[in-house]
Structure 1
Amino acid sequence: MSLPFQDEEFNGAWRELDEPQLDGGWELFTETMGVTIYRRYDKETGLYEYKVLGVLTACRPELCADVYMDLTYRKCWDKYAKELYEKDFNGQTAIYWEVDYPFPLSNRDYVYVRERRDLEVDSRKIWVILARSSPATPCGEKSGVVRVQDYKQSVVMESDGACGTKVFMNYFDNPGGFIPSWLVNRAAQTGVPGFLTDMQKACDAYRKYQLEK
């Protein structure tokens, strides 16, 4: 079984925590509530890829990483996660994720692989989680649900030097189907920084969740 991600992918991801790579069409999109967002237009799809820098002010990075990886817990705090679970496909663990979309849009589902590495770099502790769609993974499609073929996300976390976490995220999602690109782009404008807000709330409630399990 081949590993889904290579060492250089992890190294490239954490380096962007210090200095995002913005050559090749990246532009500053917005800065709001301590979150800086860059975007790059993809001519083929009409959609944008995003890079995000922000801080979760009251959540340590190891806790953030644990919350991000806990799929069972995510179903508690992510109101859009209709189904979310791990499954073994030919010796490789993949994740199935069905996302609720508002009426009249069809739900989307994803089959993707991910990997977490807790790195030590020059006495720094850095947590890196990479994920990307795996269309070749055998998982039957559902009637009325659109399978997302092109999805990737990298999340890098490190202490902000106090009680919080500095976060870098690189994200692209092509939901497919018959959704106008302008609508997808508008949703991403709020969805990307909104993810950090939801993560902060989820981190705050994680200890209580674990005690009540």
Structure 2
Amino acid sequence: MSRFGERDFQQAWRELDEPQLGEGWQLFTETAGFTIHRHYIQDTGLYEYKVFGTLSTSPDLCADVYMDMAYRKQWDKYVKELDEKDYDGQKAIYWEVKYPFPLSNRDYVYVRECRELQVEGRRIWVVLARSSEVSQCPEKAGVIRVKDYRHTVALESAGTASTKVFMNYFDNPGGNIPTWLINWAAKTGVPSFLADMQKACDNYATYRSDRK
């Protein structure tokens, strides 16, 4: 049974064609072929982000790399732990993220789903993820649980070995992190992640071959 509705997937890919950047959205930064916009959320004092751009790879390969948790533990230097677990019949992903000293690490418990959609002859990959309440996954001492997290990715071919990318991202890291640090992390962390993602796609065939 899907944890996400059909409407969730439809809304995600439509922003590849018509970015929804209405009132409150502002251009945050542009880097390496990507534009990042943000929207202030009054209730949290934090920002939601939307990212638009292209990667030099095919969308199916990009989706495979994005969904491969074992591989991500190799190329993403911020991953301390990342595994899908069964919590008393409820499957969810546990993810612990390394934070720089003196900040505490954060961890997430979330569900996700990837679908390849056929839209009027177009092939579009959509990945949806959001935090999940799993009582059987206790919080760790010294690690702050992120309880409000959502992430959307839509991918479509933009030509030979090129992928059009849309990402929508929000999380509330909790704790006492200065606003300037959160802004700095968004401005540098998202481009850094995309650059690492590009390298991961470039090296995926070698990784798969080495595992055989």
Q: Deviations over 1:20-49 (max 9, x none)?
A: 111241112222221111110112222111
SS of alignment partner, residue 212 of structure 1? helix
Name the count of aligned residue pairs. Answer: 211
Taking the aligned partners of 1:191 and 1:53, their CA distance within structure 2 comes to 15
Task: Indicate conservation of the 8 Å contact 1:118/1:128, yes or no.
Answer: yes
- Residue 48 (structure 2) aligns with: 49
Letter of the 1:156 counterpart: A
Taking the aligned partners of 1:110 and 1:137, their CA distance within structure 2 comes to 13
Letter of the 1:93 counterpart: K
- Residue 170 (structure 1) aligns with: 168
Task: Indicate conservation of the 8 Å contact 2:109/2:134, yes or no.
Answer: no
The answer as to 2:186 corresponding to 1:188 is: yes
SS of alignment partner, residue 188 of structure 1? helix
Could you tell me how far 1:138 is from its partner in structure 2? 2.7
- Residue 11 (structure 2) aligns with: 12
- Extract unaligned runs of 5+ from structure 2: none
Letter of the 2:26 counterpart: E
Taking the aligned partners of 1:30 and 1:177, their CA distance within structure 2 comes to 26
Taking the aligned partners of 1:23 and 1:100, their CA distance within structure 2 comes to 34
Taking the aligned partners of 1:181 and 1:29, their CA distance within structure 2 comes to 15
Could you tell me how far 1:137 is from its partner in structure 2? 4.8
TM-score normalised by structure 1 residue count: 0.95
Percent of matched pairs sharing the same residue: 66
The answer as to 2:85 corresponding to 1:87 is: yes
Task: Indicate conservation of the 8 Å contact 2:108/2:145, yes or no.
Answer: yes
Letter of the 1:146 counterpart: I
The answer as to 2:45 corresponding to 1:31 is: no
SS of alignment partner, residue 43 of structure 2? coil
- Residue 204 (structure 1) aligns with: 202
Task: Indicate conservation of the 8 Å contact 1:111/1:137, yes or no.
Answer: no
- Residue 122 (structure 1) aligns with: 120
Letter of the 1:157 counterpart: L
Taking the aligned partners of 1:162 and 1:177, their CA distance within structure 2 comes to 44
Task: Indicate conservation of the 8 Å contact 2:87/2:134, yes or no.
Answer: no
